[in-house]
Structure 1
Amino acid sequence: MTLQDHFRTLARYHVWATHRLLDEHVALLPEADYRRDCGLFFNSVHGTLNHLLVGEGLLWQRRFLEGVSPAGLELDDEAEPDRARLAQRLKQSARAWQPYVERLSEADFDRPFRYATSKGEPMSAPFAATLAHVFNHATHHRGQITAALTAMGHASPVLDLIYMLRDEATASSKP
């Protein structure tokens, strides 16, 4: 498997896991549980989802897809107070990675990735590892949300990558 193939898989997984979490579980949460401080780093399910939008959609996507490093954003900023719009924006953000990854060449993964922090400090890190961070970061916070759902007594989704691969294999074997 090439790095490009690996990142294509991660981009597909990111969409699959985001949709599964939001559509099948978070959408069913009562408002009080959705906004309840349940001890997550960003307090609530809503706070954690907002953090994902800020980190992924407003910072890393702009850095990767547009070559722009936004300044002044804080990781706990509330980018979208409305939960339905927040879910839509997160799903849109997840989908945006797929065409980007498709355009990358194998050589792109070996180069440095240069950007500026939200405080304007210049940074350079390995491209592949930095892109992996984006997908890993989302997986980390989805895991926190699933733990919070369980702790609140709600059903929690199975989001393991292997289940997406099984879903894909089943779908491709159907006539």
Structure 2
Amino acid sequence: MNSSMLQHSQQLYEYHVWANDRLFAHLGQLPEDVFHAEVTSVFPSVAQTLGHMYLFEQLYMSVLAGEPNEIIFSKIPEWTEEAQVKTVDEMQRLFGGVTEQFRDLLRRTPDLDKAMTIEHPKYGRLDTHFSDILHHVVNHGTYHRGNVTAMLKQQGYAGVPTDYLFYLMECQESRQ
């Protein structure tokens, strides 16, 4: 993979952080009960959706760091507990912590396209690359931010635009 592709992998991750930050800023402007309100969706509430996203971020950060499945699986109850019954601010702090761990891992990983093999307990073995898993994390976040937008709309509130194109436009504006 050439250097522009590697920079693109890092840029996609920074987009993911930007989009999550925008979502948290938006959620912080809404009544707190919107965060915990039960709705009919992929998850029963915005809070539970973000809890799932947090668990996923921790899990795949550990996968990318090369931790064995036994260690990762032993941490799932702790990560799940951390994300229970949180305020928007508390959840944002959790995401901030895992973002710093991701950024540190990216700084310490000279080859973002290095080959990796992961073993999924249900789906089997995958020979892949670090960058592919990183892209998967970004894609997963995009999917669930869309779920949150739908949940907010069900409650009578607008979502917040988090499209990649808007991120690129904001980056361009900040360079001018």
Identical columns (%) = 23
Equivalent AA in structure 2 for residue 42 of structure 1: F
Question: Among residues 53, 63, 85, which one is paired with 2:90 in the alignment?
Answer: 85
> What does residue 73 of structure 2 align with?
71
**Runs (5+) with no aligned partner, structure 2:** none
Alignment partner for residue 158 of structure 1, among 156, 161, 164? 161
Change (3 A) 1:120 1:39: closer
Instruction: Give me the whole-angstrom Cα distance separating, in 1, the residues matched to 2:93 and 2:57.
Output: 14
What CA deviation, in whole Å up to 9, does each residue of 1:70-110 have, x standing for no partner?
A: 11537x9443222222121113323433343344445x415
Distance 1:44-1:67 versus aligned 2 partners, 3 A rule: same
CA contact (8 A) 1:8 1:98 kept: no
2:99 matches 1:94: yes
Distance 1:91 1:30, change over 3 A: same
Counterpart Cα distance in 1 of 2:82 and 2:161: 27
Q: For residues 147 and 93 of structure 1, what CA distance do their matches in structure 2 show? A: 25
**1:1-175 to 2 correspondences below 5 Å:** 2-23=4-25, 25-57=26-58, 59-65=59-65, 67-69=67-69, 70-72=72-74, 73=76, 77-80=80-83, 81-83=85-87, 84-106=89-111, 108-111=112-115, 113-117=116-120, 123-127=125-129, 128-173=131-176
SS of 2:113's partner is helix
- Provide TM-score, normalisation by structure 1: 0.81
CA contact (8 A) 2:47 2:86 kept: no
TM-score under structure 2 normalisation?
0.80
In 2, Cα distance between equivalents of 1:96 and 1:163: 25
* More moved, 122-131 vs 150-159: 122-131
Tell me the SS of whatever aligns to 1:125. strand
What letter corresponds to residue 95 of structure 2 in structure 1?
Answer: L
- CA deviations on 1:119-140 (whole Å, 9 max, x unpaired) are 5997333123222111110111
Verify the 8 A CA contact 2:35 2:45 in the aligned structure 1: yes
Contact 1:8 1:102 in 2 (8 A): no
Q: Aligned residue pairs: how many?
A: 167
